[in-house]
Amino acid sequence: MAIQFNFISSMLILLLLTRSFAKAREAGGGGGGSGGGGGGGVIDVVAKFGAKADEKTDLSKPLLDAWKEACASTSPAKIVIPKGTYFLSTATLDGPCKAPIELQVEGTMKAPADPSAFKEPKWIAFNRIENIKLSSGGVFDGQGTTAYKREGCDKHNFCGSLPINLRFDFLTNAMIQGITTKDSKQFHVNVLGCKNITFEHFTVSAPGESPNTDGIHIGRSDGVNVLNTEIKTGDDCVSIGDGSKNLVINGVTCGPGHGISIGSLGLFKNEEPVDGVIVKNCTLTNTSNGVRIKSWPGAEPGTCSNIHFEDITVTNVSSPIIIDQKYCPWNKCKINEESKVKLSNISFKNIHGTSALLEAVKIICSATLPCENVELADIEITHSGPTGPAVSQCSNVKPKVSGKQNPAACSAPVPANPTPTS
């Protein structure tokens, strides 16, 4: 039901936004601008505000001027960034606005290459807006190559201060469609405090060695859909943080990257529950993980429930199915303590393909809060190599098993020091 409800809700959002922007086109006529105090219509940043696609002139002021006009309009408005390559230093597009807005990006926007050009860890931010659509094949190029080579960034010591390509904060009823984010210096997309936001035919592109470049990170949001999306990056393709509920990840192609992950959870105080996540019809290729839930040992309490992974194809994935409640990157944790995050109602169904390592299935749960109601159904994952066939390891969990199980469920012992995951 959750997939059906979220799909219908996202289609309704798209229909409503499309109708609003069709009216805006009728009202605005051509591309010259709305022409008067809050009348809506089409606002061309080049024709009306003098933006230049010369890769030198800052797009920031023309874009913010166009946004100010559109946001004040009492009827739907469309901002158009025509084809071409633009330099954009930074921009924050603030709401609330008086009517729906579409930002139609046809061109490529490039960020400053030098990380020191940013005073805050964001490049482009959308904040407190209702009924917004971002569309039309545009590219947001974070020019992150310099940042990837920064000393210490590979160990995540400095990456947190680097700018995120696209921030979506506290949006309601948003559609992000046909957009590409490229070479972000940190996360490509951060979704925080949003309600009913859909990413469709979205593309993330960054090298496999780019550190801390999660494709789409979701936190404290309700009703997020990631549909028919391609993600190639150096960290999690999709990462789901605390407070996320009613999420659908459907039709995502991931790789390179670290897979589709819930967590890490339990690191900070007062984390909110994760509840209701469906990951379905996804393909992962040459990733370090497949579908994963991860929580820190010996840290803070939390809950994660009603999580379902189904119809997943993995090819040469290092850890195709993994629950890791001993998640401890860079050895910065209390590894001898147990996780305080309670996991329950979790299913892995119809997951098939090949594992790059022996441990095709690894479910390592907390000894003090064992996983409850975990289901493994129709698992077919093979490994071919000199070390032997694929294995399935379980700790502090008694999963319900059905259908074919290759490797045999929970048939291999768990080593005293399990292989750490990235």
Q: By residue range, what is the domain housing residue 375?
A: 78-406
Q: What is the pLDDT of residue 159?
A: 67
Q: Which of 228, 195, 199, 196 is nearest to 216 (CA)?
A: 199
Q: Residue 183: what residue type? A: D
Could you give the CA distance from residue 156 to residue 212 in angstroms, rounded to a whole number? 7
Respond yes or no: is residue 308 known to be catalytic: no
Q: How many domains does the chain have?
A: 1
Question: Tokens representing 23?
Answer: 């009216």
**42 assigned to some structural domain:** no
Phi first, then psi: what are they for 347, rounded to 5°? -130, 145
Q: Is position 32 within any domain?
A: no
Is 365 inside any structural domain?
yes
d(CA 45, CA 106): 12
Mean pLDDT of 376-382: 98
Digit-coded pLDDT (tens) for 122-170: 999 999 999 999 999 999 999 999 889 876 555 555 566 899 999 999 9
Q: Is the pLDDT of residue 416 over 90?
A: no
Residue 159 lies in a domain: yes
Q: Which residue has the tokens 């089409």?
A: 42
- Residue 190: pLDDT above 90? yes
- Residue among 156, 188, 217, 258 flagged as catalytic: 258
List, for residues 201-213, the tens digit of each pLDDT value.
999 999 999 999 9
- What six digits make up the tokens of 116? 């020191």
Which pLDDT band, with edges at 50, 70 and 90, does 88 fall under? Answer: very high
Return d(Cα 218, Cα 239) in angstroms, integer.
6
pLDDT at position 29 over 50: no
pLDDT at 10 over 90: no
Mean pLDDT, residues 190-219: 97
- Name the pLDDT band for 363 (thresholds 50, 70, 90): very high
Is residue 239, in this structure, part of any structural domain at all? yes
Mean pLDDT of the chain, nearest integer: 91
Residue 214, domain member (yes or no): yes
Whether the CB-CB separation of 142 and 123 falls below 8 Å is answered with: yes
Among 181, 253, 171, smallest CA distance to 213 is for 181
Distance CA 133, CA 22 (A): 13
Residues 299-351: tens digit of each pLDDT: 899 999 999 999 999 999 999 999 999 999 877 788 889 999 999 999 999 99
Is 69 within the bounds of a domain? Answer: no
Percentage, residues of the chain above pLDDT 70: 87
pTM confidence score: 0.91
Q: Is the pLDDT of residue 26 over 70?
A: no
The total number of residues shown for the chain amounts to: 422
**CATH number for the domain harbouring residue 158:** 2.160.20.10
Least confident of 8-17, 238-247, 324-333, 362-371: 8-17
Q: Within a domain: residue 417?
A: no
